[in-house]
Each structure stands twice: as structure tokens, then as C-alpha cells.
Amino acid sequence: MFPALETELKQEMLPDPYEDFMQHHLQYYGYFKAQKSSLPDSAAHQRVWRSSPRYTLNGSFGERDDFISDSLEKEMLLWPTCLSSTGHAQIDAVNRDPLLLGSPLLRNRQLLYDELDEVNPRFREPRELFSCFSSRGPMQAPRWPIECEVIKENIHHIEWVPLQPEYFYQPTGNEKVPEIVGEEQGTVVYQLDSVPTEGTFFTSSRIGGKRGIIKEVAVTLQGPEDNTLLFESRFESGNLQKAVRVGIYEYELTLRTDLYTDKHTQWFYFRVQNTRKDVTYRFTIVNLLKPKSLYAVGMKPLMYSQLDATIYNIGWRREGREIKYYKNNMDDGQQPLYCLTWTIQFPHDQDTCFFAHFYPYTYTDLQCYLLSVANNPIQSQFCKLRALCRSLAGNTVYLLTITNPSRTPQEAAAKKAVVLSARVHPGESNSSWIMNGFLDFILSNSPDAQLLRDIFVFKVIPMLNPDGVIVGNYRCSLAGRDLNRHYKTVLKDSFPCIWYTKNMIKRLLEEREVLLYCDFHGHSRKNNIFLYGCHSNNRKNWLHERVFPLMLSKNAPDKFSFDSCNFKVQKCKEGTGRVVMWRMGIVNSYTMESTFGGSTLGSKRDTHFTIEDLKSLGYHVCDTILDFCDPDQTKYTQCLQELKELLQQEIHKKLNNFGQDVDLEGNWSDIPLSDIESSTSGSDSSLSDGPPIRLLNIADELNQKMVLKNPKKKRLQTRKQRNEQYQKNYLMRELKLTENAPTQLSGREKGTSLDPPLTSPKNKEIIQSKKPGFTASCSPKRSTNSSLGPAPDVKPNWSKTRYSAARKDHAAMMVYPSLHIYTYP
């Protein structure tokens, strides 16, 4: 009917010259061996680019998905993904309409298409330099050091919440203290070989770890009557070095130290098989390093039964009797060691069971969660997943940017930022569960979550130390160092996760204000959840860093303890994320410490924390951010006044302890807070070992280059020199004032102040809403409490009405100033 158009379409259907050239080029060098017909159509590619997570998160190493080399095909890629239904519909629509494929107007790869197969007259956003997921296998298998043997089994556990509270173990005083006999009088039934320790260092990694056949490191059973337990820990996050059988049902266990170190034994996670029912077993870990532990005050180990999970849908639970934490009687002339012993009865014969220090959360668990977010067509619109960097072993450190799309550039620029991170210490898996709860809420369709996404930009790093998590370390990375003591490092190649995190936050501070920074951790010697902050010497912000923790204690009174919070900045903590970010200008910079045990507060008193308890704290963090930034400053001023009263009581208490009676009505606020608070030396911390010895020279050279690049001003020595410099600066200021005199005078004549405003000049339109079903979350002032914390059992009573305008109607908007909080009673 239209011969001219048919001829044009036939010509346009010819192969793309560039794609044809690239096909021959890759075939020549052996990188591409597929048939020509398998080449993707450019129109189909651009059609699904924005609608499919596999195109927004493609290529683990930035490669093009369609050209997979032989070496990449041999890699173990996990969890194949498919296009979303929208993506399939778009491809089908393109294939059905040849005009869309052949029209010269549609050959531009930058144009976007809507659902009605029409051209949207705008260009797509450029692809990121770092992509995360590949279309054939969205997540790469974990990379291990080449010294580590890894079994091929896939370890997976179900999530489960106990029906009844799991109470602390109550010591009877009659617990047995078994004498450590060692392998001289026992039988080694499990032992790892060639584990890298102090004196060695990380060289390279590969998927699957050590090459070759996986050795059988457990004993071989002699028959069905052999009741020897079979141990295994060569899986993700596993940690067990050796097991020695010292009795028929009694075993001594040795934990593996953090790789490339000779210390940090706390985290354990291992498997036992060939169990016997109704028999009392005793396990004793013999090489723990901390003199104090929550096991001494009632904490129980965790056990997981594979048969219970399969049959009864029962997951991890607290088990153990005759629990005792004590000093090892074997003195090897080095640092003292401590033991943990407990007895247990397995629920089934021939069962597979796991023991762990806390609920495991592996790197694979994180990737599965992020994959579900990337494949969710709604969540992927406001949650952008990118690779912050690669770890030493080549594992991806993920960065999530969570915020609702802004309608104007001014609205986007007015948003403040919140930075959250977790798992810098790999053995503190409780931090991952809190982060999981936070992500569950902030990515939900809750009105409060939508409001938070409207007014904030969230930068989230859910796992800062993936290498340590994979190999089962407790505290260190593969550099053999505690990353939370190296935020000031200049060694980008040795500490990439920390270097890139700090650099990202530094760039973020140049773009917008960071309202809150919080790094999630775990604590092995204190119960409850609490924060470490940094007290400000600035009179303008006096006590303001304590308002957020106090609000959080009121929102979660049965989990969060304000009494345990500390705001003293010690010299040994200068390299931590909390202190470094505070010195970069983030006033509300915190370390959140979550116990491995449970709560001593309110309705949860003397019970262990469950996964749901930790997840709920992630919600309470979001809840408290809204309270903290509520335009109605009643709650903020109430907490600030309560803090002053509590602090005044604490000062009186301190002075009374020293036998002094001083009237503080006039000058009590001038006492330095550092003189009142105790140090955080009781925190679950380790002193910095400095950079590895082999890198000392490199660090010195980099520091010298930085000094030469940014030389310090030469200090003027004499009074004459200082006077001359002062006069010179004075004349320069007078000159500038003279040049700008008309503008300055007109401003003053109008009565305007030349001082900087307390709030940002940028005004932002936000949606205000009332939170449905909001429970009370703040307690009244309590001047009779002698401690710095609120009473946990007092019911909060502040009004929870937030953002009174309806949120559903986007047309109802109001101008809302920047969320600086400068309210003083």
C-alpha cells in the first residue's frame, strides 16, 4: 500500500553497523561466541532499561550483559532473575509493531518510552559507573581468600519468633567448671588446616575459596552405632577451628581467630550432625579473650534444629543449661583465656543442628534482600542501589539512596540527609537485624515512611565489612585491623570500605546538611540498646546531641536505655566513625550499641531479644527522626529542659559523693560535661593497632604528601609581625566595606540583620500529615530521678500529632523552612 514506506522499513531493519562491528571484534578476540541472532535489539534494550531492575542494576563489574566472556560464565552466579511483567509487556509491544523498530525517529537510544508505546520527549538518565547486578545472575557468589576451604552446601535458616519470652538463665551456683584437658588426653574430631594467622596477610581471593578438592576435616564414622558428633564451619560466617572429644558426650571447642590476626575470638557459628536424642551433651569453648561476658549474667547460646524447622517451622531459639563463664586454667604465657561451657539435649536423633553466638545474618542474606528491593517495581522507584566500592576480596559494598523523587531542583536541594551504616564489625550481626527493620519500614507504604522520604535523603550502607562477614571474623577486615579505628586512614587500597564511606559523606556535606549519622553495632558486655555520642562544647548546641537518644528511650522504653548512653570523646576513639563524622560537622553523630543478650527494662525485663525486637528498633529510629524534626517544637523543648534538670541532679550527686556542697544555680552549666561522665572504656572496643607493618612506610609517605599539598600557615612569632598582619587585614576589610557601602547601608536602614539566619535560606515544600494510630512516645518531666535516664516504666504522654495537613492530596502544599533546630527554653 505504501511501497516507499515498506522500502524504508526494510532498509532500517538491516543490522546496526556498530553492533555488527562489535560482534566481529569480540569474536576475533574470543570474547563472544554466540550466534548473531542472539544479539539484542537496540530498541528492545532501551524500552526496558528503566522498567527492569536488571537493566538499572546490570553487570557485576560494569560489563555489558550480552557479552559474557568464558571466564565470567565459569563464575558461580546465584539466583537467576527474570524481567518484571512490565518489562516483558514492553518487549512484546515492540516486537508486535515493526514501525517502532524501523522508524528512523526511534533509532535514538536515549529516548524513553511510556506504557502506550509513545515516545516520551525526554532523555533517560546516564547509567552509573558502578553497577550491581547482572541479568544472568543478579548477585555474584561471595569471594573468599584463597587459603579458605568452603563447602558447596547452601546454608539457609528460617526466621521465627518464639511464642513465649525467652528468659535469661538463672545461675544456681552449682554449675560445673570442667577442667580443660586438650587434645593430649582427648581425640581431635574436627580441625581446620592452613588457617592464616598473625604474620601473614591477604593476597588474593576467588569464588569458592581454595582451589582443589575439599578435604574431609571431620572424623569418619565407624558405623551406625558410632555416636561421635560431626562438626562443620566452612560455610559463610562460620567460625570453628577445632573440636576435641574429651568424653562420650563432651567436647572442647577452639574458635578461629580473625584471619591474619592472633586475637578477637568471640563470634561462633558451627554445625553438628549425628545427634542423639535425650542425651546431655556438654560443649566448652576454651579460647575466649574477654574477661567479662553476658554469658556470666544469664545469656544463653542460640540453637537451630533442621528437623524442627522442616517439620514444625521452628527456627533459632535460646537453649542451654549449666552455663558458666570462667577463666581458663591453662596458662600459655601469653594473654589470659576464658571459657564458656553449657549443656544441652538435642530434640531429635540424627538431626543437623547449628549453634551461634547470635542470630546469623550473612552477606548472602543481604544480597537476597537487596535483590527483592531491586525487583520490586514500587520500591525501586525511590530506592536506588549502587556499589559504593569493592572490598579487599572484591565483594561489593552496597550503597542505598532512599528518597522520593522531587518535583523541582529547589525541592531536591532543600532536603537534608541521614546516613546510616552497619556491620563494620562482622561478628555483630544484631546490627544487621536493626538495619533490616529500618529498611523494612522506610521502604514501606506507611504514611510516616512516605513523609520521611519526602523530606530526607537517606544514605544507607547495610554492610561495611562484607569480607569479615563472609569468613566469620568477629571484629576485623582482611587487612587484619578493626575498621572502626581507621576512619582517618589515607590508605584507600587497604581500607577501601572506610575510605569510600568517609569520602561519600564528605561529598554529601558539600551538597546538603547531614542531620544524623548513626553506625549500628553490637555489645557483648552490656544489656539493652544505647547510643554513644559526642558532646559539643559550643554553647549554642549545648546538650542538643542528647535530645535524639532521650527521645528514642521514650519511644522504646522497654529496649533502649538512656542511662547507658555516653557522650564523652576519648583520644582512643578518635578513629571511629562517630568521632570522625562529628569532627566533619555532623552534630548528631552516634554509635548505636545493641546487646547480644536482652533487656533489663519494662515489660521485657530479663528476657532475650528476638529478631523482631531488633527489627522494631529500626522502626523506632524512623519514629524518633520524625519526633526530632517535628515543626511543633514542644517535644524538643520538653526533652531539652528535662536534660538540663537531669544533668543538674547528676552534678549535685557527683559533688555530694566528694563531700562538697556547692550552690550551682548561677554557674552549674559551665561545668564541662567530660568531668561528669565516665569514659566509654567499658564499651565493646579495641585499641587501634595502627596500619599493618608492611604499610607503615606507605602511610607516612601519603601523610607527607598531604602536608606538602596543604601546608599549615607559618605562625607569626613576634608582636610586631602580628600587629602588621592585623593592620593589613583591617585595611582590607575597610576597603571591602567601602566598596559595598550603599548595599550595606540600605539593608541596615530597613532594619534587616546582617547576621546569618539560624535556619537555611532554602525553603522546602513538604507534605504534612497526621500519623494514624500513633501511640504515645514521650514521658513528662521527671525532676526526682537522680539518674540521667527516664524511668522505663513511665508511659510517654506527649502529643503525637504530626504534620496536620492531609498527605494524600499532593495539591495541598505548604512552605516549610529547613529543618534546623535551634530552640532554647
Distances in whole angstroms, Cα of residue 358 to Cα of each of 161, 287, 546, 561, 780: 14, 18, 29, 21, 36
Other beta carbons less than 10 A from residue 412's beta carbon: 15
HSE-up (13 A, CA, CB side) for residue 3: 0
Are 337 and 182 spatial neighbours (Cβ–Cβ below 8 Å)?
A: no
Q: Looking at 115, 593, 701, 739, which residue is catalytic?
A: 593
Q: How far apart are the first and last CA of the chain?
A: 83
User: How far apart (Å, rounded) are the C-alpha atoms in residues 368 and 375?
Assistant: 11
575-606 in b/e form (b: 16+ CB < 10 A) is bbbbbbbbeeebbbbbbbbbbbbbbbbeebbe
Q: Give the chain's radius of gyration (CA, Å).
A: 30
Q: Is 593 a catalytic residue?
A: yes
Q: In the β-sheet with 269-273, what is the strand arrangement from edge to edge?
A: 230-232, 269-273, 353-356, 302-305, 317-318
Three state DSSP letters for 580-615? HHHHCCCCCEEEEEEECCEECCHHHECEECCHHHHH
User: How far apart (Å, rounded) are the C-alpha atoms in residues 469 and 241?
Assistant: 16
- The residue with cell 500529632 is 801
Which of 613, 157, 136 is CA-nearest to residue 356? 157
Helices and strands in the chain, H and E counts = 22, 28
Q: What would the grid cell of residue 260 be?
A: 591474619
Contacts of 641-646 spanning 24+ positions with Cβ under 8 A: 641/781, 641/825, 642/550, 642/781, 642/782, 642/790, 643/543, 643/546, 643/547, 643/550, 644/543, 644/669, 644/825, 645/781, 645/783, 646/782, 646/785, 646/787, 646/788, 646/789
Rounded to an integer, what is the distance from CA 10 to the centroid of its chain? 54
Which of 554, 566, 558 is CA-nearest to residue 530? 566
Q: What would the grid cell of residue 76 be?
A: 558461580
Beta strand pairing call for 416-422 and 514-523: parallel
Question: Could you give the residue numbers annotated as active site?
Answer: 593
